[in-house]
């Protein structure tokens, strides 16, 4: 635990021992500012209280911190011979990491140690062997982009405050709409904090398109609204449907086939059911790259049905969207240009740092119509420049990070062809892994031909291989294998890969490829490690 | 404009000239991956396509970028003798800044120039003379915290992926609830991307408390819900009320007094009106530090009314909340512990980098109850550690940045006493500014005694001083003064301060103090610059 800088704590003896005590005991009248002795800025090795950085007080500190970051949190932390994590149980970690907030300031030396500890006990999501989530890797250009974004600390609501990023957002969004296939890239769009919220915006826009009166009057002015999405769609559809007052029961779950793709015939039946109940269907959420199976819903068929029933077609391509950058793989989202809106997270398949999520919309102006409130204190109309560049009012956020920059900078760095190359590489990796385990003893694929770069499989330990699959205990036993191997890998720190049960299947692994820094040897490593950790189960 | 690295573009002549052309013209069958020549990784001065950083390929680049960032975006950009901004009209900026996305990759040299240009044309929000918004300054410890957060690229949904930050969030939130005054710091809370969304969560929780069936059935299963907030409350209350399906008409605007404080008697009348309309009042949003006037609503009186009518009391202290850290100023929010929830943005008065917003709730568990969907693929219950540490399901976001770290790190650096010192300093600054303009010719205060650190005032140019205030043209002319001075300051780049009209007042300036790096001489600078820019109007 750090020295808490007791020599710099207030020396006035009759003051309460701690800030918290003071707050608890003081009345308004008793309040006095703490002794200034605690903040002697002539001692530059102790943290200053001012929210202002100077070369004199922080130059050396910044350089020490950045050297540490680059070395230990980026280059060292992502080396293959280093651990992905140093796992500590949640009950134990507080005894190893100094979480406590104290009254007194820290020294710069203490702070450097704190940074080291934070790196040590954090999961290295940029490590090649972190294949656990739909994000991973540390993109070098994305990271530099983030660092600059932080240093500039902009808020993208007005051109006045954020000129470069305001224009940049519109340029990147237009380019993405072009790639989706919306005519001339026209339409609307936003960067927002995560795909879940992007899906929420999509619901809000769809609702506004058909029932603009809800903005002022609320949902209760129309009938029971109904959304359709597959039983494999992301949980955010249901979560956000609840949040926006539609209710989770009113998200009708459409069956998916064995591959996890939406059954368009069942969609049609469910729309008819909703109509027969006198409910108000207004939106279908298709998924392009489901979270677990990586399935792509049949957009063309769904678009036909949406046209027939006049429903908004949203495509949640948060995960799969990156494949649009590849001439080889964009066919997976054939007819996506027929959609009304698309969620596409560059922080997933394209490996931009978190968070970088977009909602792209075919209809111009709908975001402002649905969400604008024209706050006079921020979106003044008598500014001296063209205020159509003040785009903040289309968001439900007010202050907002410039998540565009890291992605634009990556794009600038790699070029469109580089982003394509990245996508092709991650698909290539997943296909190599697939071939590796296809006929390998002890491995069983859930799907022989997954469509995206997540691969679902079981590891069958030797003890189970002799058991008949028809025995009920087979699935019971298999269900416990993945959690056990996961525990072992977390404790060893040698890799991270997630597991889950789904569709009545017992627990299976889902390995996710979206780092183009992985090589074939890494695929072999994953397979061998799993065998090693599971052979005695 | 940069060299676009034409020597590295694909050389296969019969390929389409650009990626976009190729996408437009190619059928699925024609799709071919781009020539690998474009990505010759033996040339480390050209950007690599892999989402993986290595010392060999990026070590020098990182260090060059970081040196540039620290020097030009932090230390130089915030010097008083430098400009706050280099203003370019939105129509002109694209001719000065190379926004265009191209097919080919860039060289590291190009990228460094792009970073320089981004700094040059961005507003330096960390500059002492940026007093334009409710955020400003670059906190040195907050910034280092952001940089590490980025390098680790964590997502705070499970302990498994984000052990340090998961625990840290709970510790900081508990500490903040203690400071609010909730018993033992018990209750619930989240970090979320901005105060607007925090207010949305508050509405959602209040709704869930009284009508849990809305989560599944939607708003239409209850009557017309009504929220009350003052006519000075932040626009996000209305915006989020629309978003969550309650409707902006159902946010009843309560009158505020001359100081901008909610009129509790009018609140009572409006509640009774709603009841007489058979609507369903369920929530009052008080404001602690209004956006423009900096007014604090009378929480105690409002809490009495909420108790009487059984309404959820939310306090939007996004702006004013930081004052709770000061024994001298926390009385402004007297009785805040009687609230059900509080929005408090450390990125405002406490000067944490953006974004750092919290919602603090007195009721334990309500966030999960209102928003949880128990997604089986992420929140597995058969993990080997205590999964109560997997806190992600209480959010409407799935992936989520670790916004806690920068604030925790600042707190650790400065100590609670340092944060208090910061708050006391910014109040002191605002009081000094107030004294400076109080009796100064040409300045007129909107409020003689503003409660928070934003000060609203008019500058009256000499030409207007002889005019009678009762003449209609007086206000017409005065209305044009602030926009004109603002235009001049933006073009000169010497400072940024915002203006707006409000409550039938003609345009007035609102100067905002939340940088504890400002000195008295800076206050004098602001006054003198305004006089200089406005004297001939």
The shortest C-alpha distance from A198 to chain B (Å) reads: 10
CA–CA dist A237, A241 (Å, integer): 6
A270-308: string of b/e by CB count within 10 Å (b at 16+)?
bbeebeeeebbbbbbbbbbbbbbbbbbbbbebbbbbbee
Are residues A39 and B418, on separate chains, in Cβ contact within 8 Å? yes
Q: Is B87 on the interface with A (CB under 8 A)?
A: yes
Give per-residue pLDDT as tens, B170-229. Answer: 999 999 999 999 999 999 999 999 999 999 999 999 999 999 999 999 998 899 999 999
Q: How many residues does chain A have?
A: 537
Which of A58, A193, A405 has the CB atom closest to B193's CB atom? A193
Give the Cα separation of B231 and B254 in Å (integer). 6
What are the chain B neighbours of A38 within 8 Å (beta carbons)?
A: 415, 417-418, 421
Q: B6 pLDDT band (50/70/90 cuts)? A: very low
Cβ distance of B397 and A486 shorter than 8 Å:
no
The helix (H) or strand (E) run that includes residue A501 is strand A498-502
B253 touching chain A per CB within 8 A? no
Residue A376 sits at the chain B interface (C-beta within 8 Å): yes
pLDDT in tens, A37-48: 333 444 458 999
When scoring A95, A151, A300, A388 by the number of chain B Cβ atoms within 10 A, the one with the most, hence best to mutate, is A151
A253-257 contact pairs (CB < 8 A, 24+): A253/A229, A254/A228, A254/A229, A254/A230, A255/A230, A255/A231, A256/A230, A256/A231, A256/A232, A256/A290, A256/A295
Decide: helix, strand or coil at residue B472: helix
**B 462-521: CB under 8 A from A:** 480, 483, 486-487, 490, 496, 498-502, 507, 510, 514-518
**C-alpha of A328 from chain center:** 25
Contacts of A220 (CB under 8 A, 6+ apart): B219, B220, B222, B223, B224
pLDDT at A9 over 50: no
Measuring CA to CA, which residue among B260, B256, B338 is closest to residue B305? Answer: B338
Please give the average per-residue pLDDT across A346-356, as a whole number: 97
Model-level ipTM above the cut of 0.85: yes
**Percent of residues, chain B, with pLDDT higher than 70:** 92
Report how far Cα A160 is from the mean position of its chain's Cα atoms. 29
Least CB-CB distance to A245: which of B195, B219, B510?
B219
Who has greater pLDDT, A349 or B1?
Answer: A349
Mean pLDDT of chain B: 92
Q: Say whether pLDDT at B35 is over 70.
A: no
A210 has pLDDT over 50:
yes
Say if the Cβ atoms of B245 and A66 lie within 8 Å.
Answer: no
Label residues A54-77 b or e (16+ Cβ within 10 Å = b).
beebbbebbebbbebbbebbbbeb
Residue B292: list chain A partners with CB under 8 A: 377
* Cβ neighbours of residue B310 closer than 8 Å, sequence gap 6 or more: none
Tokens describing residue B92: 């002109």
Assess A195–B contact: CB distance below 8 Å, yes or no: yes
Q: Do B376 and A245 touch (CB under 8 A)?
A: no
Residue A283, min C-alpha distance to chain B (Å) = 16
**Cα within 13 Å of Cα(A459), Cβ side:** 26
The answer to whether residues B466 and B483 touch, using CB atoms and an 8 Å cutoff, is no
Q: Which residues of B touch A515 (CB under 8 A)?
A: 50-52
User: Which pLDDT tens digit goes with each residue over B54-77?
Assistant: 999 999 999 999 999 999 999 999
pLDDT number for residue A267: 98
Cα Rg of chain A, angstroms:
27
CB B324 within 8 A of CB B179: yes
B chain contacts of residue A194, beta-carbon cutoff 8 Å: 397-400
Tell me which chain B residue has its CA closest to the CA of residue A140: B53
Cβ of B88 and A167 within 8 Å?
no
Instruction: Establish if A44 touches chain B: CB-CB under 8 angstroms.
Output: no
Distance from C-alpha of A188 to C-alpha of A174, rounded to nearest angstrom = 8
The model's confidence at residue B44, banded by pLDDT at 50, 70 and 90, is: low
| Tens digit of each residue's pLDDT (9 = 90 or more) over A133-149 | 999 988 999 999 999 99
Res. A81: pLDDT tops 50: yes
Mean pLDDT of A113-119: 98
Any A CB within 8 A of B220 CB: yes
- B188-192: strand order across its sheet: B188-192, B357-361, B341-344, B312-316, B280-287, B225-230, B251-254
CA distances (Å), A203 to each of A57, B185, B199, B221, B523, in order?
A: 49, 36, 19, 19, 47
Which residues on A lie below 8 Å from B409 (Cβ)?
111, 114
**In the prediction, which pLDDT does A38 show?**
35
For the stretch B450-491, pLDDT in tens is 999 999 999 999 999 999 999 989 999 999 999 999 999 999
Contact check, Cβ <8 Å, B143/A159? no
Touching B: A residues 435-464, CB under 8 Å: none
Q: Distance between CA atoms of A403 and A36, rounded to whole angstroms? A: 39
CB contact under 8 A, B415 and A246: no
* Strand segments (E) across A260-391: 280-287, 312-316, 341-344, 357-361
Q: What angle do CA A305, A200, B378 make, to 5 degrees?
A: 100
d(CA B142, CA B126): 12
Mutate to test the interface with B, among A19, A26, A50 (most CBs of B within 10 A): A50
Min Cα separation B232/chain A (Å): 11
Q: How many helices (H) and strands (E) does chain B have?
A: 16, 11
Contact state of B327 with A32 under an 8 Å Cβ cutoff? yes
- Would you call A90 and B486 a contact, using CB atoms and an 8 Å cutoff? no
- B201 close to B280: Cβ distance less than 8 angstroms: no
Across A440-457, average pLDDT: 97
- Tell me whether residues B193 and A248 touch, CB distance under 8 A: no
Span A261-285, average pLDDT = 98
Average confidence score pLDDT of chain A: 92
DSSP helix/strand/coil, B398 = coil
With pLDDT > 90 as the criterion, what percentage of chain B qualifies? 89
Which residues from chain A sit within 8 angstroms of residue B171, using beta carbons?
A: 99-101
Contact across the interface for B371 and A242, Cβ inside 8 Å: yes
The secondary structure of A386-439 as a DSSP string is -GGG--GGGSS-SS---THHHHHHHHHHHHHHHHHHHHHHHHHHHHHHHHHHHT
pLDDT tens figures, B304-322:
999 999 999 999 999 999 9
- If you count them, how many residues does chain B have? 537
**Residue of chain B minimizing CA distance to A373:** B239
If we measure between CA atoms, which residue out of A51, A125, A72 comes closest to residue B518? A51
What pLDDT band is residue B350 in, cutting at 50, 70 and 90? very high
pLDDT bin (cut points 50, 70, 90) of residue A536 is very high
B498-502 vs A188-192, strand pairing mode: unpaired
Mutation test of the interface with chain A: which of B16, B156, B398, B516, choosing the one with the most A Cβ atoms within 10 A? B398
If you count residue pairs, one on A and one on B, with CB atoms under 8 Å apart, how many are there?
650
**B416, A78: Cβ pair inside 8 Å?**
no
**pTM, full prediction:** 0.93
Torsion sign over Cα A185, A191, A194, A198: negative
- Average pLDDT rounded to a whole number, residues B27-41: 36
Write down the pLDDT at residue B9.
Answer: 35
Which 150-189 residues of chain A touch chain B by CB within 8 A?
150-155, 159-168, 171-172, 175, 178-179
Cα–Cα distance, A205 to A339 (Å, whole number): 13
- B:392-431 residues touching chain A, CB 8 A cutoff: 396-401, 405, 408-409, 411-422, 424-425
């Amino acid at each position: 635990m750090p020295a808490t800088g007791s020599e710099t704590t207030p020396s006035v003896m009759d003051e309460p021992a701690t800030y918290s005590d003071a707050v608890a005991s003081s009345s308004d009248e008793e309040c006095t500012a703490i002794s200034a002795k605690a903040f002697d800025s002539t001692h530059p090795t102790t943290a200053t209280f001012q929210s202002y950085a100077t070369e004199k007080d922080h130059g050396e500190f910044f350089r020490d911190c950045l050297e540490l970051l680059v070395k230990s949190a980026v280059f060292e932390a992502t080396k293959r011979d280093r651990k992905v994590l140093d796992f500590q149980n949640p009950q134990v970690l507080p005894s190893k990491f100094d979480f406590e907030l104290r009254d007194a300031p820290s020294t710069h030396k203490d702070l450097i140690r704190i940074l080291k500890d934070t790196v040590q006990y954090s999961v290295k999501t940029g490590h090649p062997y972190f294949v656990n989530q739909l994000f991973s890797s540390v993109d070098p250009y994305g990271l530099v982009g983030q660092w600059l974004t932080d240093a500039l600390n902009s808020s993208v609501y007005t051109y006045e405050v954020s000129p470069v990023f305001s224009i940049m957002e519109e340029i990147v969004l237009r380019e993405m709409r072009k790639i989706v296939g919306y005519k001339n890239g026209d339409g609307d769009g936003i960067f927002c904090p995560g795909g879940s919220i992007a899906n929420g915006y999509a619901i809000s826009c769809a609702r506004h398109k058909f029932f603009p009166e809800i903005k002022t009057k609320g949902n209760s002015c129309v009938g029971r609204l109904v959304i359709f999405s597959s039983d494999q769609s992301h949980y955010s559809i249901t979560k956000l449907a609840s949040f926006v007052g539609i209710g989770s029961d009113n998200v009708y779950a459409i069956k998916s086939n064995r591959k996890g793709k939406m059954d368009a015939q069942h969609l049609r039946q469910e729309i008819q059911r909703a109509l027969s109940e006198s409910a108000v269907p207004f939106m279908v959420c298709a998924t392009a790259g489901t979270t677990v199976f990586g399935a792509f819903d049949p957009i063309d068929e769904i678009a036909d049905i949406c046209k027939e029933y006049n429903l908004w077609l949203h495509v949640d391509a948060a995960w799969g969207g990156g494949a649009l950058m590849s001439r080889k793989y964009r066919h997976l989202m054939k007819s996506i240009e027929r959609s009304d809106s698309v969620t596409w997270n560059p922080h997933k398949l394209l490996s931009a740092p978190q968070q970088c999520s977009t909602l792209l919309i075919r209809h111009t102006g709908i975001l402002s119509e649905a969400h604008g409130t024209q706050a006079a204190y921020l979106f003044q109309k008598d500014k001296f420049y063209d205020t159509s560049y003040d785009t903040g009012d289309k968001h439900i956020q007010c202050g907002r990070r410039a998540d565009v920059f890291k992605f634009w900078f990556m794009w600038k760095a790699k070029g469109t062809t580089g982003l394509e190359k990245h996508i092709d590489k991650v698909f290539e990796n997943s296909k190599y892994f697939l071939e590796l385990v296809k006929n390998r003893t002890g491995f069983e694929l859930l799907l022989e031909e997954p469509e995206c770069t997540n691969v679902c499989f079981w590891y069958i330990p030797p003890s189970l291989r002799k058991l008949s699959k028809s025995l009920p205990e087979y699935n019971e036993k298999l269900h416990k294998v993945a959690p056990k191997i996961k525990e072992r890998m977390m404790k060893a720190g040698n890799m991270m890969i997630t597991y889950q049960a789904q569709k009545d299947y017992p627990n299976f692994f889902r390995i996710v490829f979206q780092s183009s820094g992985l090589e074939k040897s890494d695929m072999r490593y994953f397979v061998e490690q799993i065998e090693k950790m599971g052979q005695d189960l």
